[in-house]
Structure 1
Amino acid sequence: MDVAAEVERGRDAFAHQAWSDAYAVLSGADRAEPLGPDDLVRLATAAYLVGRDAESGAATERAHHAYLGLGETAHAVRCAFWTAMPLLLRGETARGGGWLARARRLLDDGRLDCVERGYVLFPQGLRLVHKDPRAAHALFGEAAAIGDRFGDEDLVTLARHGQGRALVYAGETAAGTALLDEAMVEVSSGRLSPLVTGLVYCSVIEACEELFDLRRAQEWTAALSHWCAAQPDLVPYRGSCLIHRSHVLQTHGAWPDALDEARRARERLAATPGRGVLGMALYQEADLHRVRGAFDRSEEAFRQAGECGHRVQPGLALMWLAQGRVGAAAAAIRSALEETPDRLRRARLLAPYAEIMLAAGDVPAAREAADELTGTADELDAPLLRAVAAHVRGAVLLAEGEVGEALDALLVADGIWGEIEAPYDRARTRVLLGLARRRLGDAGTAHLELAAARKAFRELGAVPDLARLDSLAGVAPGADTGLSPREIEVLRLVATGRTNQAIAADLVLSEKTVARHLSNIFGKLGLSSRAAATAYAYEHDLVGRRWAE
């Protein structure tokens, strides 16, 4: 083998972003004759990008020691940084922290004034970004200043994006998203290294999803997909890209395509050490199985996501709710919310929490969640979150008997869902709109709302929602019953054997209101027991009718 020629061939493949070829050629040359530190860095980068994390880490460590042997301490520190970052991102904080400590010691012992001082500040900022975003912002700012001074675009972009995320967590959303956009302009320019490009792409899209900023998430996901498509052998970022695409497709109602993307992400990531990202893929797959009613598959995928260290709420609690396990769902979602102080993460839990609390008959708890969610939505001013908050507010107002106000809130949600093309969420809101209009005596419009919801659920394959729509089926009052439409709904559900708590959940009422309806029913019909009410419902053909066929 002409080792020198092979090394040149490996360098050329690396320059043309042919990562698999670069890895194969450089690793072959390295077996024949140990590479120098610069080529070890190329080998490490190519190995990482094709999903060979162990080989990447080993090559980076060798480059670190080789640079030290040559007295090139700054380059050795850079290698220590890139050894630490993948470890930290995978949750291996002890090893990752050890490499960062080594980097800081080398900088201090050598009293070096170099750009690597800024790189070492970056993971320190990441560690604080949730706990103390102001302190994190200051560290990122210091790193950006060092990057500017040395003309290092990679470091400047990493630091600016870090500042953006810190501002978001500090509550300064507009300023934070402006910095994230600025960082993405640099990323899209193609001037940055592939490791920094992939890291910032995924981090910014994650921030957009946390902010419920669907427009930005779609835009940057499309850009990431384009970047990945040009490098088909990419592994770590292509897996993340597929997960983000699955989220977007799910929102827009393309559930089979979303499930395909989640599966592809899971398969691509299964062989890599990044268990946290694999957990994201598994959770997404589990959630798609949940809304389609494939509960066995959903529960298994949630279990596997949990084993990867990914949070399984609110998805698992919502699955239990759909299965009728209201108590288990309530306990799980309550614990999840209590353990989540961060306002953005809480925002993602509050809507499921309110839904489950209403099912459990705890209207005051649902009201608290609705109020907090509305406050966060007003602060962020993201259309997606405003729609979620309006839907939850409408559901709670319905349960409280404030039907007119509920209708206003639900119409707001319905309008936004239509604008952002979210058919599933819109169908769920239209169910509540139908119930509200029925309670206001507008049976004709109620029928249209419920029929539209049924059609959407059927087209999506939303089996649990179709089943719930059937359980909510109402009928027009018979001429001889003397009962109101709501009382007939309650009577029909009594005849199916439901408890007051279950009826309250189905009709989005409080248990107290259900009890009052039952008292009225018994009084009007001269009945004294639930058994007698059940017999009456069957005798008068009030069971099994539908209002939304």
Structure 2
Amino acid sequence: MGIVDDLERARAAYERRDWATAYERLSAGSDLRAGDLLSLATAAYLLGDIDACIRALQRGYRSQVDAGDTLGAVRFAFWLGLVHNVRGEVAVGSGWSARAERLLADQPADLVERGYLRLHEFFRHLEQGDFAGASRLGTEITELARRFGDSDLLAQGLVCQGRLLMYSGRVPEGLALLDEAMVGVAAGEVSPIFAGNAYCAMIEACQEILDFARASAWTTALTRWCDSQPDLVPYTGQCAVHRGQILRLHGAYGQALAEFTDACRRYAESGAQAAAGLALSECGDVLRIRGDYAAAEASYAEAAGYGYEAQPGRALLQMARGRTSAAVAAVRRLLAETGDPVHRSRLLGGAVEVLLAGGYVDDAEAAAVELTEIATGFGCAGLRATAAYCSALVALERGDAEQALPHARVATQAWSGLQAPYEVARSKVLVGRAFRLLGDEDSAESELTAAAKTFGDLGAAPARQETEKLLHRDTAGGLTGRELEVLRLVASGNSNTEIAHRLVLSDKTVARHLTNIFTKLDVPSRTAAAAFARDHDLL
């Protein structure tokens, strides 16, 4: 009787998502059913113990084979293939998938288990670039799920179909399928691992097409879902990344960096090191905006070490540091090898800026036109705002203020609606430049002054300095001549005492100058101030 009671308590813990208790009590069980072994494996997976998960799945598979339950064995083989693939052990995962296919060879054709195995086949077609084959399988998976009333398979099938539709350019249709998948997730109809996968796929899709409103709503939902499971390890890293992305949009750069750092820690703890690349890339973007170019480059390089290409951020950093030829080469290569409209839409905005910096105005205009066409088809506010900004940028480069102004106005309004202060300020700069070309200097100065203040409030030092150049203000970060002398000596490696001796000052005066320099440049240390001086040609 005691063993039965313990098992019932373990099952109750599983149902309330108390994964640690469920795992502990199920692990102590000596005669677990197949369903209990699957629950044990799931709890282990959600606690981040992949080895324990695999051991439980192997026990379940063997128990089903011994019992002569072929379909039950197929289910466990499917999960073993999935978990090994997630872990990066693709050969082992493929082996389990092949074994499951062999077990089904003599079974009826119309089985829901075949839908689960088609998921493995779907991802194989996707990796091989066979999008037509993957699309066909996605449809089959969804049809099987509907026919058998399987909520897990339906959610995953809809996600597969939706992402493929998006990559083929049919974004509204793809998003509709993703929304349908999320209805089942939000209603609690989908099991934890499939639910976590669906959340992350949905938010990633929204971020890819700059659908920030949807991304924000589902990130909030994912945060609540993760918070309801205190022991959860998988998905919490992705949740931190997505929270950081929304915070970055709203200009909360310090909080965004904290979330990205937390995501990297969580990925490291769970063993999902490759996923840290996205977090590091996002971290690099924030550091670049704030003018900490050395740290941004280090972050991008670390992301590359995980196999993640941090673009177009890295090309924009090269441009900011004066390595324009390298930046142009990078964006040309990226555009040449990126075919689907979703991924091109992420590159084109940065490409326009880099190509203009390199003097390739016609190429930049072609990229802006393509981005506008994609944004019109996708219908996402963030993408339309980016396209309008790029169109205004190209028009200003050609000296056509009348063409630039309406695009800049659209960008300003769209970014304002998304509560994105940095992007609003960048758009205001274009409005100010257009006013200046049209001869309205007072209005130009008003727009530029407002933009410079926003950049200053956000700590976006490079953008603030560029805007102050347009206002014909001091371009050395507001430093006095004496402060510039001190900064140059700091960058040369001199101590406070050495600087005091060189400039015939007291140590206390040098310390006061350094405090003023740190405040004006919005940097935390001598090292950061020296890096700022190098990056902004103040030496």
TM-score scaled by length of structure 2: 0.83
**Contact 1:413–1:429, Cα closer than 8 Å, also in 2:** yes
Q: Distance in 2 between matches of 1:22 and 1:288?
A: 40
The alignment status of 1:103 with 2:105, answered yes or no, reads no
Q: 2:122 aligns with which of 113, 120, 125?
A: 125
Q: 2:375 aligns with which of 374, 377, 384?
A: 377
Q: 1:359 aligns with which of 357, 366, 370?
A: 357
For each residue in 1:491-521, what CA deviation from the matched residue of structure 2 results, as whole angstroms up to 9, or x when unmatched?
xxxxxxxxxxxxxxxxxxxxxxxxxxxxxxx
Write out aligned runs for 1:415-494 (5 A): 415-474=413-472
**Residue type of the alignment partner of 2:255:** D
* Structure 1 counterpart SS, 2:342: helix
Tell which deviates more after alignment, 116-125 or 445-454. 116-125
**In structure 2, what is the equivalent of residue 207 of structure 1?**
205
**In structure 2, what is the equivalent of residue 73 of structure 1?**
70
**In structure 1, what is the equivalent of residue 38 of structure 2?**
41
CA shift for structure 1 position 445: 0.7
**Residue type of the alignment partner of 2:11:** R
**Residue type of the alignment partner of 2:22:** A
Q: Distance in 1 between matches of 2:437 and 2:224?
A: 50
**In structure 1, what is the equivalent of residue 51 of structure 2?**
54
**Residue type of the alignment partner of 1:44:** A
CA shift for structure 1 position 390: 0.6
Q: Distance in 2 between matches of 1:465 and 1:102?
A: 58
**In structure 1, what is the equivalent of residue 17 of structure 2?**
17
**Contact 2:203–2:215, Cα closer than 8 Å, also in 1:** yes
**In structure 2, what is the equivalent of residue 137 of structure 1?**
135
* Structure 1 counterpart SS, 2:104: helix
**Contact 2:168–2:341, Cα closer than 8 Å, also in 1:** no
CA shift for structure 1 position 354: 1.0
* Structure 2 counterpart SS, 1:474: coil
* Structure 1 counterpart SS, 2:472: coil
Q: Distance in 1 between matches of 2:212 and 2:282?
A: 17
Tell which deviates more after alignment, 319-328 or 391-400. 319-328
**Residue type of the alignment partner of 2:444:** A
**In structure 2, what is the equivalent of residue 259 of structure 1?**
257
* Structure 1 counterpart SS, 2:332: helix
Q: Where do 5+ consecutive residues of structure 2 fail to align?
A: 474-539
Q: Distance in 1 between matches of 2:62 and 2:469?
A: 68
The alignment status of 1:272 with 2:270, answered yes or no, reads yes
CA shift for structure 1 position 18: 0.4
CA shift for structure 1 position 250: 1.0
**Residue type of the alignment partner of 1:398:** L
**Contact 1:133–1:169, Cα closer than 8 Å, also in 2:** no
For each residue in 1:503-547, what CA deviation from the matched residue of structure 2 results, as whole angstroms up to 9, or x when unmatched?
xxxxxxxxxxxxxxxxxxxxxxxxxxxxxxxxxxxxxxxxxxxxx
**Contact 1:242–1:261, Cα closer than 8 Å, also in 2:** yes
Q: Distance in 2 between matches of 1:344 and 1:251?
A: 19
**In structure 1, what is the equivalent of residue 169 of structure 2?**
171
**Residue type of the alignment partner of 1:426:** V
Q: Distance in 2 between matches of 1:431 and 1:456?
A: 11
CA shift for structure 1 position 111: 4.7
Q: Distance in 2 between matches of 1:23 and 1:337?
A: 48
**Contact 2:431–2:444, Cα closer than 8 Å, also in 1:** yes
Q: Distance in 2 between matches of 1:298 and 1:50?
A: 33
CA shift for structure 1 position 245: 1.3
TM-score scaled by length of structure 1: 0.81
**Contact 1:357–1:363, Cα closer than 8 Å, also in 2:** yes
Residues 363/420 of structure 1: CA separation in 2 closer, same or farther (3 Å cut): same
CA shift for structure 1 position 63: 1.8
Q: Distance in 2 between matches of 1:300 and 1:361?
A: 28
CA shift for structure 1 position 201: 0.9
Residues 469/54 of structure 1: CA separation in 2 closer, same or farther (3 Å cut): farther
**Contact 1:290–1:298, Cα closer than 8 Å, also in 2:** yes
**In structure 2, what is the equivalent of residue 340 of structure 1?**
338
**Contact 2:135–2:164, Cα closer than 8 Å, also in 1:** yes
The alignment status of 1:298 with 2:308, answered yes or no, reads no
**In structure 2, what is the equivalent of residue 402 of structure 1?**
400
**Contact 1:289–1:298, Cα closer than 8 Å, also in 2:** yes
**Contact 1:129–1:166, Cα closer than 8 Å, also in 2:** no
* Structure 1 counterpart SS, 2:111: coil
**In structure 2, what is the equivalent of residue 318 of structure 1?**
316
CA shift for structure 1 position 5: 5.2
* Structure 1 counterpart SS, 2:17: coil
Q: Distance in 2 between matches of 1:296 and 1:34?
A: 58
**Contact 1:90–1:275, Cα closer than 8 Å, also in 2:** no
Q: Distance in 2 between matches of 1:16 and 1:302?
A: 40
**Residue type of the alignment partner of 2:427:** T
**Residue type of the alignment partner of 2:332:** R
CA shift for structure 1 position 383: 1.0
* Structure 1 counterpart SS, 2:270: coil
For each residue in 1:204-243, what CA deviation from the matched residue of structure 2 results, as whole angstroms up to 9, or x when unmatched?
1111222221111111111111111111221111211111
Q: Distance in 1 between matches of 2:56 and 2:38?
A: 7
**Contact 2:432–2:443, Cα closer than 8 Å, also in 1:** yes
For each residue in 1:461-480, what CA deviation from the matched residue of structure 2 results, as whole angstroms up to 9, or x when unmatched?
112212322444438xxxxx
Residues 127/216 of structure 1: CA separation in 2 closer, same or farther (3 Å cut): farther
**Contact 1:134–1:166, Cα closer than 8 Å, also in 2:** no
CA shift for structure 1 position 109: 4.0
**Residue type of the alignment partner of 1:373:** L
Q: Distance in 1 between matches of 2:407 and 2:171?
A: 25
| Identity of matched residues, % | 42
Q: 2:189 aligns with which of 167, 191, 194?
A: 191
Q: 1:114 aligns with which of 86, 101, 111?
A: 111
**Residue type of the alignment partner of 1:195:** I
CA shift for structure 1 position 126: 3.5
Q: Distance in 1 between matches of 2:183 and 2:226?
A: 17
**Contact 2:156–2:194, Cα closer than 8 Å, also in 1:** yes
CA shift for structure 1 position 6: 4.4
**Contact 1:210–1:344, Cα closer than 8 Å, also in 2:** yes
**Contact 1:290–1:319, Cα closer than 8 Å, also in 2:** yes
For each residue in 1:381-429, what CA deviation from the matched residue of structure 2 results, as whole angstroms up to 9, or x when unmatched?
2111011001001111111122210112111111111111111111111
CA shift for structure 1 position 164: 1.9
**Contact 2:249–2:420, Cα closer than 8 Å, also in 1:** yes
Q: Where do 5+ consecutive residues of structure 1 fail to align?
A: 476-549
Residues 203/460 of structure 1: CA separation in 2 closer, same or farther (3 Å cut): same
* Structure 2 counterpart SS, 1:236: coil
* Structure 2 counterpart SS, 1:270: helix
**Residue type of the alignment partner of 1:212:** L
Q: Distance in 2 between matches of 1:193 and 1:125?
A: 20
**Contact 2:7–2:25, Cα closer than 8 Å, also in 1:** yes
**Contact 2:48–2:233, Cα closer than 8 Å, also in 1:** yes
Q: Distance in 2 between matches of 1:369 and 1:119?
A: 41
* Structure 1 counterpart SS, 2:190: coil
